[in-house]
Chains A and B, each alone.
Chain A
């Protein structure tokens, strides 16, 4: 057992070390976004803030290292990030971290409800389609799931909004004003992912159902349902977990549009409006956080994978 734990911690260490180049790359991109912005960033800061104070301007100039060589500016930038300083929003004159902190819980709520929808629909339907291959059910699920993954989120959001909020009056129109507020945005966001999960679960299920060990399970006299639940499902779910993890990025992308359409006070809306008014510190801070979250999620997925698949767990021994 101790060997096992040892290999896992070593694996974790290696994985964490591999994050360093990724973070370097991400910080360079975030930094360049600032630098590539046409015009003096300071002018927009002061212009938006309205505090035409040359002392403040000089201090800001020094803080940002403007006028110094590019690599010094970059190092200063990284140094500020490491101190947890993501700068101030130009538009709102509030620390970016504060804005993100306020918006994040709403986004996490939206994403987790959407994810729950997607898993609750996607995995059972995917199994169904995989088991009933080449029949009418499977073909219908095939067309439907691919269509679900092809719908533009913002458009779907608008349509659901008109139908359920205006005509049927079942849900609030927008914002986060009560527990039912999350339903429509989460559904909008979840449908596309559900479509992907259906496809994936189906093909993963198909891969497994033709494996020899399934034939063995049948030869034992197990009923088809038990064969699927106890034998095929566990193996089939492994790749699905990976993709659920990877698709958090996909969810984030949809989240932008959905929050925008539903006026949901989350990260997506914050960033979209920041982009539209060229509030770069917010965009920059968001990119850094998104990449961090993305990488950490991938790591979690890997660990989850390790917990389910003994073959990976034991690989460290050899």
Chain B
């Protein structure tokens, strides 16, 4: 509204803290709530895998090779007779560890550099953003595949490669938000009262600019899980016999005509987990985007 007319009606209920608003909207958005429960469940399984997994994920039992689901092995067994359910449970540890560390570190780098670029502008901004542009001009996953191929497979290398291609996205979003926020009256007022740059950034810029970054991080978590699975599928991730979801799909591929469930279950697990993060991010975006809030 650009009107000059006196604007008097303003339902001041919207002054509630953001997190309550988010909770309120998520509680109305049933699907996002389901997604949240899936995320929580996956986290619990990953944390408690050693206690709740029915079998040792690497324990071979050749007599049960490629056996379908049974009352003992709920999801069946792989070519070496290992319990698929236990392997999926342990695989969750890998997936969520990669997701958490990739998102965590990328977020830290992105928020820091993005706020810096947006707040100071000028040369700092162009220097940071030129680098970001170069990284963003590659299709990310391909860069990651190339990087891991060069430095060698393994969990740490996968995490580093994914961080390498992830931080520019966060930086760009954070910069955009900082640019938007820093012109706000309270920021100007705070500066007018002699607040230091770092104070303004910590107390004003980052808290107000963080919403879209949080949405991005949620979706980015799903993306990281998907990317790790892809790398593991190509044999570039966690090395066998340790279980990972992507690796399990790859193993299943060999026996797909005899025992299709062996590839079906890990793929479904990846899909549902990634879906849950994406869905949650989508719900959060609706909740955090003030333009959609009525």
- Residue ranges of A at the interface with B (Cβ–Cβ < 8 Å): 21-22, 25-26, 29, 33, 36-38, 139, 142-143, 146-147, 149-156, 158-159, 161-162, 166, 199, 248-250, 252-253, 256-257, 260-261, 271-272, 275-276, 278, 280, 283, 286-287, 290-291, 294-295, 298
Contacts and interface: CB of A to CB of B under 8 A. Distances in A.
B235 interface: yes
A295 B138 CA distance: 9
A272 B230 CA distance: 12
Which of B230, B236, B256, B279 counts the most A-chain CB atoms under 10 A from its CB? B230
14 contacts: A150-B271, A150-B278, A151-B267, A152-B274, A158-B249, A158-B252, A158-B263, A159-B264, A166-B257, A253-B141, A271-B142, A272-B145, A276-B149, A291-B137
The dominant DSSP class at the A interface is helix
Contacts of A153: 230
Given A36-B151, A159-B264, A252-B142, A294 B137 contact: yes
A253 B139 contact: yes
A249 B142 CA distance: 9
Contacts of B151: 36
Nearest to A295: B137
Contacts of A26: 134, 137-138
A155 B278 contact: no
Interface in B117-145: 130-131, 133-135, 137-143, 145
B146 A33 contact: yes
Given A21-B130, A143-B31, A278 B149 contact: yes
B91 interface: no
A153 B230 CA distance: 9
A256 B142 CA distance: 8
B139 A152 contact: no
A142 B134 contact: no
B150 A159 contact: no
Interface in B22-59: 31
A272 B234 contact: yes
B278 A275 contact: no
B222 A154 contact: no
Given A291-B137, A294-B137, A147 B142 contact: no
B110 interface: no
B252 to A, nearest CB: 8
Interface of B: 31, 130-131, 133-135, 137-143, 145-147, 149-152, 222, 226, 229-230, 233-236, 246, 249, 252-253, 256-257, 260, 263-264, 266-267, 270-271, 274-275, 278-279, 282
Nearest to B285: A203
A9 B278 CA distance: 41
A193 to B, nearest CB: 13
Contacts of A253: 139-142, 230
A276 B267 contact: no
B142 A287 contact: yes
Given A21-B133, A150-B274, A155-B263, A294 B139 contact: yes
Nearest to B139: A249
A223 to B, nearest CB: 27
Given A37-B150, A146-B278, A294-B139, A154 B249 contact: yes
A280 B130 CA distance: 27
Contacts of B257: 162, 166
For the complex of A and B, the 3 pairs showing the least CB-CB separation, nearest first, are: A25-B134, A155-B267, A249-B139
B184 to A, nearest CB: 23
A276 B271 contact: no
A311 to B, nearest CB: 18
Given A152-B246, A159-B267, A139 B31 contact: yes
B142 A150 contact: no
Nearest to B264: A159
A29 B271 CA distance: 32
A201 to B, nearest CB: 14
Contacts of B236: 275
B271 A252 contact: no
A176 B187 CA distance: 60
